[in-house]
A = this chain, B = another copy of it.
């Protein structure tokens, strides 16, 4: 059984890849009560990530997947130190794919970008790859507004990435694959979906991930939006969500 966490519902795009590829048994935690992580300090994101992982560890998972790019960027080492479990993040696999190209653009939240996590990981593999990094803070609220393919979203994307020269682009946030069509119409380059890259990379741990496709979702906020978005990300594989509280007695302190 695998534990997956994200700041919200976006990590279900990673879950989709894990279900498709491994039929994994998954416990998913979306920390919607404290999202977004992408505009918060590294210190705060580390703290929330440890609390999320603690919840999953108590559920008895065999490994933890950090679906959130921001948490993968800033909290992976802390998680590996704190838990005696394999911990996988979305940065390394996407960086590995990107390092095959000469000129890469990474798009993500403010925290992911300012952490330089993707850039460092790419440079470690191929020092010659040129890396441009761009924070795109409006993409998540645009996707969550359902403005996925409209004129305004196109203009925002144009403003963010229109000027960039690159051969490949890392979609460094779980929400961005939903904008792939808009992004590709502006930059017709290779799009690297970090969740998909992670699922591919986990092929070498496939025994750990084999299961019967059971999915159990938890959210830290009771908002109906999680279920709505869950169906967008997962379709009929989404089977409801339970509410848990990490911010009172015990869990959060």
Residues of A within 8 A of B (CB): 32-34, 39-41, 43-44, 47-48, 137-138, 141-142, 144-145, 147, 151-152, 155-156, 159, 220-223, 225, 247-253
Contact = CB atoms under 8 A, between A and B. Distances in A.
A123 to B, nearest CB: 25
Contact of A39 (B44, B223, B250): B223
Contact of A221 (B41, B155, B222, B249): B41
A33 B7 CA distance: 12
Contact of A248 (B152, B156, B221, B252): B252
A9 to B, nearest CB: 11
A152 B160 CA distance: 12
A47 B144 CA distance: 24
What is the interface of chain A mostly: helix, strand, loop, or mixed?
loop
What is the copy number of this chain in the assembly?
A: 2
Given A33-B44, A41-B222, A152-B156, 14 more contacts: A32-B40, A40-B221, A41-B223, A43-B222, A44-B222, A47-B248, A48-B247, A137-B141, A137-B144, A138-B145, A152-B159, A247-B247, A248-B253, A250-B253
A224 to B, nearest CB: 8
A220 to B, nearest CB: 8
A185 B48 CA distance: 42
Contacts of A225: 39
A225 B249 CA distance: 30
Contact of A145 (B137, B249, B253): B137
Contacts of A43: 222
Contact of A252 (B142, B155, B220, B247): B247
24 contacts: A32-B40, A33-B34, A33-B40, A34-B247, A39-B223, A39-B225, A40-B221, A44-B221, A44-B222, A47-B247, A47-B248, A48-B247, A137-B141, A137-B144, A138-B147, A151-B155, A152-B156, A247-B247, A247-B253, A248-B252, A248-B253, A249-B253, A250-B253, A252-B253
